[in-house]
Amino acid sequence: MATTVLAIGIDPAFADFSAFPQLTPELIRNYIDAQIDQLRNHGYEAEACLVDLGDTAEQVVASALQSKRFDCVVIGAGLREPAAQLLLFEKILNLVHRLAPEASICFNTTPADTMDAVRRWVAP
Angstrom distance (rounded) from CA 79 to CA 9: 6
DSSP 56: S
Please report the pLDDT score of residue 20 as a whole number: 82
Q: What pLDDT shows up at residue 111? A: 82
Q: What is the pLDDT of residue 17?
A: 84
Mean pLDDT over 31-46 rounds to 96
pTM over 0.75: yes
Cα–Cα separations (whole angstroms), residue 18 to 21, 32, 54: 6, 19, 20
CB within 8 Å of 23: residues ≥ 6 apart: 17
Examine the pLDDT at 84 and tell me if it is beyond 90. no
The mean pLDDT value of the chain amounts to 94
Whether the predicted pLDDT of 13 surpasses 90:
yes
